[in-house]
Amino acid sequence: MSLPKTAHTSRPWRIHELAPDFRVEDVWELRWRGGPEDFPRLVAMIAAGDPAHGGPRAVRALIALRERLGAVLGWDADDTGVGARVATLRDRLPEDLRHAPAPTFPVLPFTSLYLLEDEFAAELANGTMHGVLHLGRIPDGAGGFRAQMAVLVKPNGLFGRAYMAAIKPFRHLIVYPALLREWERAWQKRSRDRTPTPA
């Protein structure tokens, strides 16, 4: 479910101090409920994903199209990424976050920034923008927790702003709903697999 941007900006996330020059592009609630120990597992599950090959069909098709365009137009060349076109946000991390453990992304082009008990952030950059994927754990009022995802971006000039505006309908109508459903199914399966069978 799409949420207002204030659902992200009103909370005391650490990402605010690290990326004040990034704008909040999207905020979505994940259909996930868990205990305090489950948030790192959720983050690890998302980081290990490969939506270009194992995701929903519509998402795979859009990713394939985006990859072809990126290859032809040079949007994903080495000199457009983090550490080349833009400096990594890791350079902005305070000491207490600099050594925070965080998962790696074996397939997706993200680099983790930090993982806390209630917050995770990762970055990526290409020729269109510098972006941050943020996941937050929030009390659900019933003794457990829910999660929400925010996407923060710093577009690469006028072209980057036009690109983000052009893909917004695809993100909101296809990509996010499909990915969130896929994550929900994957989490439910993991939860069932971890539940011991009664003797």
The answer to whether 74 and 127 have CB atoms below 8 angstroms apart is yes
The answer to whether 64 and 78 have CB atoms below 8 angstroms apart is no
Q: Which amino acid is at 14?
A: R
Per-residue pLDDT of the chain (199 residues; tens, 9 = 90+): 899 999 999 999 999 999 999 999 999 999 888 888 899 999 999 999 887 777 778 888 888 888 888 888 888 888 898 999 999 999 999 999 988 888 999 988 899 999 999 999 999 999 999 999 999 999 988 888 999 999 999 999 999 999 999 999 999 998 888 888 888 888 888 777 665 545 4
Please give the model's pTM, rounded to 2 decimal places. Answer: 0.90
